[in-house]
Amino acid sequence: MTNAETEAVLKEARERWNACDEAEQNQRERILKAKQFRIGDQWPTAIKLSRAGSVETTKPGAPPLPERPCLTIDRLSQPCRQVSNSIKTANFAIDVLPTGFGADTETAKIFKGYLRYVQNQARAESPIEWAADQAIEGGIGWFRIQTEYCYTNTDGVPPEAIGDQTLTLGRVFNNLSIYADPWAVKPTKRDMRFLFVTEDLAREEFMRRWPDADTVGLDDFAASGDCPKGWVGDDTIRIAEYWRITYRPERWAELRPGEWSRVTELPKSNGHQMRTRLIQRPLVNGFKITASEILEQWDWAGSAIPFIPILGEEFNIEGKQHVRGIIEPGMDAQKMVNYTYSGAVEIFALGSKAQYIAADDQIAEYKNIWQTANIFNYSYLPYKPIQVGGTLLAAPQRDVTEAPIQAAALLLQVSEEAIKATTGIYDPSLGNVNPQMTSGRMVSQLQGQTDLGSSNYPDNVKRALIYAGELMVEIAPKITRVGQLLHIIGEDDIPEEVIVGQYFQMQQGRAVPVDPHVADVQRGVVKFYDLTTGKYGVTVAIGKSFTTKREEGAAAIGQIIPALAPEQQMIAVPEYIENLSFPGAHAMAEKLRRVLPPQLQDQTPDQQQNLVLQLQQAQAMIQQLQPLANRNQVDLQRAQISAQAALQRGASADAASLQRTEITAAASMANAQAKVDAENFRSFADALEASLSKKLDLHMQAIQTALDHSHEMSVARQQQAHDVQQMALDHAQTLQQQAHQGQIDQQVAAAQPAPQGPAS
């Protein structure tokens, strides 16, 4: 940049920073007060000093002021923790959906897994949870999106991967270090045009980071009186990240109906009403600056400043945005609690030190002793007897009036209820259940009312995550090279690897590049994801954390297992143990899975590919066995026809015997062949069932159906052959009986005497 451009940037930055500081001054003071109140600074300074006691008095000879109770009974931190922890334990699941222009569901899953990976990597700093806690506390918190190199240690990293970048979520430790565009009105600040992130460095640290910086010029600039307040201190120098958006105009014209092109000047009309559009293309730049110098500068790949706010309660007062958290509306109620408890303790402490009632002349000579009578334990208290109107006054006595203990207890209760009313967090959510509430449903409903009263906080986190997801989906393809290895995480928190912009396949859990020509041959096994094509939308669902869902799942499986069949229990028990959190649960579950029958075991991608090949071989064997089954059926039909013809020709016993022998032989042959055929099919079915996994159940069902049909045909053929044989035997027996009966009839006829002729 030229000197003129540098000066223009610095001048713009100073003016905008002053505008932010002026617009947000009141808001920032209230946030700071809420922070101080939360850490226990809850008493006004004057009251705190008066209750601290003093040895100096305004009256000569007067006793020192005693120290009075100044208790801080914090009742606001627990409601803050209640809402904050509900956000920490919730599962904000970012989901990516295809919205057109070449987007597809599988690539959307890769985006989703990548964003889950970014979320998981950020858990060490918890930037989202920290920002949400600051929003609950003071009304606003911030987190940021950053890019980092994937490999800090480049040993063993391929040369092409040394420059690979990934997205990260960063924590903004102090929400008051952010000065955002005061004219941005959207809750996500997506319409802001500039933003500052300030940091105060010791002069020695500043010189260590930027040894060539012009500190002399900076001191001169501060001495001139033109330096904005806060930029230069006696021992510190303020630096700032200055983010800004500039716009590059682009002119587009509809040269033909439905055909838009970018133009530098408008062409002449070609017969239809030409539509034009001016697009302001945002360009995001960042600078590291002091009040008088640019230390660093960079360009950002996205179209928006990568800082995302999480808001508490938001208000608009006279056109200005005001935010607040739980602390601010509960401050007065908290002061009431502190005053009440301190006053009650003071009343109870002084109950045994009631004041003495005495005439001034009775104790005038011993006033120093009487003034400390409730402080020191004197063995006796002297006084001077006096008379008034000839009557001797009684000795000094203590004031035995009872302290207002009941009123103090009632005031304590009222102050506690005031806290609950201002924070919206009531007893059931705080763990205080009324003994008279015997209905669990009633307690749950009261807890639900509390959750509803604070539901705006998790909803604001959800809104911020949707915007952050949109920014990351936009930036990820721009910082990812073709062939880069991306780490993603599935919904069950299992890490995976994918390669973007290049064909690859999974081998032993690792993504391995594949030649494009081989990819065409192995279509279905090889994968390809292009992050640069299509448009994708982002949604966020609020659910339970994975740990909570795992524990609930383990409890549910434990209740279901006793009702399952033994083979179903074999499948469910490893899953139940896997969801338990004791050490060694995963190893035990894996051992149980390995001893399961083959058809019940999960298959790796390589095993699945082998099973597919086995299925293809099985189908080929079925096709080879089908002609054999057809031939057996033809032979059986021929045997049936031969048997029927033989039965028709057989008239005598010898013929019947011969026919019976032929029928028996044919039937035996058909029966033996049918048994061999059925045995072949049965053996094949058993071998196939043992090799295929449960993931090929649909194919197994089809094969099993074919085998069952073949077996039924074989059984039917056996039954039919048996019936034909039985019919042949029955018919032969009938013929034999008929022949035998004919022989008997002939013998009977021959044995009878010849009939006598008529007498002559």
The three-state DSSP-derived secondary structure of 402-443 is: CCCHHHHHHHHHHHHHHHHHHHCCCHHHHCCCCCCCCCHHHH
Residues 662, 564 share a domain: no
pLDDT above 50 for 505: yes
> Both 391 and 408 in a single domain?
no
Contact between 284 and 307 under an 8 Å Cβ cutoff? The reply is: no
Q: What are phi and psi of 563, to 5 degrees?
A: -90, 0
Backbone phi, then psi, for 100, in 5-degree steps?
120, -175
| 253-283 tens-digit pLDDT | 988 888 899 998 877 766 667 889 999 999 9
Judge whether 426 and 450 are in contact, CB under 8 Å.
yes
CA distance 488 to 503: 17
Whether 355 contacts 371, CB under 8 Å: no
Q: Are residues 654 and 557 in the same domain?
A: no
* Predicted local distance difference test score (pLDDT) of residue 177: 94
Do residues 362 and 396 lie in contact, with contact meaning Cβ atoms separated by under 8 Å?
A: yes
- Is residue 588, in this structure, part of any structural domain at all? yes
How far apart, in whole angstroms, are the C-alpha atoms of residue 683 and residue 230?
88
| Mean pLDDT in residue range 423-452 | 60
- One domain for residues 709 and 659: yes
Output 105 or 684, whichever has higher pLDDT: 105
Q: Considering the domain boundaries, does residue 412 fall inside one?
A: yes
Expressed as residue numbers, the domain containing 675 is 605-745
> Is 95's pLDDT higher than 80?
yes
Structure tokens at 258: 């439905």
Per DSSP, the residues of 167-182 read EEEEE-S-GGGEEE-T
DSSP state of 134: H
Helix axes 3-38, 331-349, angle to 10 degrees: 40
DSSP state of 30: H
Report whether pLDDT(476) > 70.
Answer: yes
Non-local (6+) Cβ contacts of 592 within 8 A are 573, 574, 577
Mean pLDDT of the chain: 80
Residue 226 pLDDT:
56
Residues 472 and 493: their CA atoms lie apart, in Å, by 20
- Looking at the structure, do residues 627 and 582 belong to the same domain, yes or no? no
> Is the four-CA dihedral 210, 213, 219, 221 of positive or negative sign?
negative
Q: What is the dihedral of CA 639, 641, 643, 646, to 10 degrees?
A: -130
CA 697, 700, 702, 705 dihedral sign is negative
- Selection from 710, 721, 648 nearest residue 680 by Cα: 710
Sequence-separated contacts (24+) of 295-300 with Cβ below 8 Å: 295/210, 295/213, 295/239, 297/1, 300/243
236 found inside a domain: no
Question: What single string gives the DSSP state of each residue in 433-482?
Answer: --TT---HHHHHHHHHHHHHHTTHHHHHHHHHHHHHHHHHHHHHHHH--T
- Per-residue pLDDT, 758: 43
- Number of Cβ within a 10 Å radius of residue 462: 18
* Residue 101: closest CA among 530, 469, 472: 530
736 and 610 assigned to the same domain: yes
Q: Residue 759: what pLDDT?
A: 41
Q: Could you give the residue ranges of the DSSP H alpha helices within 603-652?
A: 605-649
**Which CA distances in Å does 294 have to 9, 28, 221, 242, 526?**
9, 27, 14, 10, 50
Which of 87-96, 111-120, 395-404 has maximum average pLDDT? 111-120
Q: Is residue 15 part of a domain?
A: no
Which residue did the predictor score with more confidence, 642 or 132?
132
Residue 259 belongs to some domain of the structure = no
Count other Cβ atoms within 10 Å, centred on residue 570: 16
- Residues 610 and 646 placed together within one structural domain of the fold: yes
Considering the domain architecture, whether residues 425 and 391 belong to the same structural domain is answered as: no
- Tell me how many degrees the CA angle 66-70-74 measures, rounded to the nearest 5: 170
681 and 592 fall within a common domain: no
Give per-residue pLDDT as tens, 207-231.
999 999 887 666 655 555 556 667 7
Whether the CB-CB separation of 110 and 533 falls below 8 Å is answered with no
Residue with tokens 């020192």: 64
Local confidence band at 327 (pLDDT 50, 70, 90 cut-offs): very high
Domain stop point among 531, 561, 596: 596
Q: Band of the pLDDT at 444, cuts 50, 70, 90?
A: low
Q: How confident is the model at residue 603 (pLDDT cuts 50, 70, 90)?
A: low
Contact 577, 558 (CB under 8 A): no
- 3 vs 719, more confident: 3
Q: Is 340 part of any domain?
A: yes
Mean pLDDT, to the nearest integer, of 557-580? Answer: 81
Asked if 614 and 686 sit in the same domain, the reply is yes
Nearest residue to 500 (alpha-carbon basis) of 522, 529, 534, 476: 529
Mean pLDDT of all residues in 410-433: 76
Q: How far apart are CA 5 and CA 479, in angstroms?
A: 28
Q: In sequence order, which residues have a C-beta less than 8 Å from that of residue 227 and are 6 or more positions away?
A: 221, 291, 292
Token pair listed for 479 = 């910082």
Of the residues 430, 453, 476, which one is the last residue of a structural domain? 453
Are 394 and 409 members of one domain? no
Distance CA 561, CA 576 (A): 9
In this structure, the answer to whether residues 554 and 648 fall within a common structural domain is no
What is the rounded distance in angstroms from the CA atom of residue 123 to the CA atom of residue 117?
10
pLDDT at 197 over 70: yes
For the ranges 38-42, 191-195, 349-353, 523-527, the lowest mean pLDDT is seen at: 349-353
pLDDT band at 206 (very low <50, low <70, confident <90, very high): very high
DSSP state of 156: T
Judged by average pLDDT, the poorest of 446-450, 639-643, 687-691, 713-717 is: 687-691
- Would residue 738 count as lying in a domain? yes
User: Phi/psi of residue 44, each to 5°?
Assistant: -60, 145
Over pLDDT 90: what percentage of the chain? 39
How much is the pLDDT for 472? 97
Assess if residue 618 is contained within a domain: yes
Rg (CA), the chain: 47
pLDDT band with cut points at 50, 70 and 90 for residue 427: low
Q: What is the pLDDT of residue 757?
A: 42
**Based on the number of CB atoms within 10 Å of its own CB, is 4 exposed (0-12), middle (13-18) or buried (19 or more)?**
exposed
Residue 369 in this model has a pLDDT that exceeds 60: yes
**Strand pairing category for 194-202 and 535-544:** unpaired
Q: In this structure, are residues 202 and 238 in contact, taking their beta carbons and an 8 Å threshold?
A: no
642 band by pLDDT with thresholds 50, 70 and 90: low
Residue 685's contacts (CB-CB under 8 Å, 6 or more residues apart) are 703, 704, 707
Tokens for 360, please give them: 């001034």
User: Is 621 strand, coil or helix?
Assistant: helix
Return d(Cα 322, Cα 30) in angstroms, integer.
10
Q: Which two tokens stand for residue 336?
A: 């009431």
Return the HEC string of 251-275: EEEEEECCEEEEECCCCCCCCCCCC
Distance CA 166, CA 114 (A): 10
Domain count of the chain?
A: 4
Q: What is the DSSP string of 186-199?
A: STT-TT--EEEEEE
Most confident stretch, 45-49, 347-351, 674-678: 45-49
pLDDT, tens only, 135-156: 999 999 999 999 999 998 989 9
